[in-house]
Amino acid sequence: MATEREIRSLKKRVSGLLMKNRAVSAVGVERDEKGHYVLTVHLVDDAPDLPAELEGHAVRYVRRGRYEKQ
């Protein structure tokens, strides 16, 4: 189980690459349903070519739509 610091470090390394995918609206560190820190990728649409793991850590994908100024 990874620590928050480890997942934050992973996020800094991979966020730029993931955000180049137009189906990705955000990348951050969240807790999953079990309370574990996990790299969380927000999707606007289905994105079939995204990895299930990065650097040995599972990646969580969530569909949260497009973010707009409010």
Partner 1 sequence: MATRRSARPAATRGGEAFSALSISNEVHAAKAAATARFLQPRPVGAFSAREAMNPAAEPDPAENIVAIGVGEKMSKGISTGMPAVKIFVRVKFADSEISDADRIPAEINGVPVDVEQIGTVRALKAPVMPNPRAKIRPARPGSSVGFLSPNFRMAGTFGAVAKKGQKLFVLSNNHVLADENRLPIGSPIVQPGPLDGGKPTDGIAKLTAFVTLNPAAPNKVDAAIAQVNSAALVNRSILFIGPPQGTKRATIDMTVQKFGRTTSFRVGRVVSIDTDVRVAYDIGELLFQDQIVIRGLNGEQFSAAGDSGSLILERSTNAAVGLLFAGSSTHTIGNHIADVLTALGVKLA
Report residue 11 CA to chain centroid gap. 8
Q: Does residue 65 touch partner 1 according to CB under 8 A? A: yes
Q: Does residue 34 touch partner 1 according to CB under 8 A? A: no
Q: What is the DSSP letter of 2?
A: -
Q: Does residue 67 touch partner 1 according to CB under 8 A? A: yes
Contact residue for partner 1 among 17, 28, 45, 55 (CB under 8 A): 28
Q: Which of 29, 27, 24, 22 is nearest to 6 (CA)?
A: 29
State the distance between the two ends of the chain, measured CA to CA, in whole angstroms: 36
DSSP-derived 3-state class of residue 41: strand
Contact residue for partner 1 among 46, 49, 53, 68 (CB under 8 A): 68
Chain positions contacting partner 1, by CB under 8 A: 4, 8, 11, 15, 19, 24-31, 40, 42, 64-70
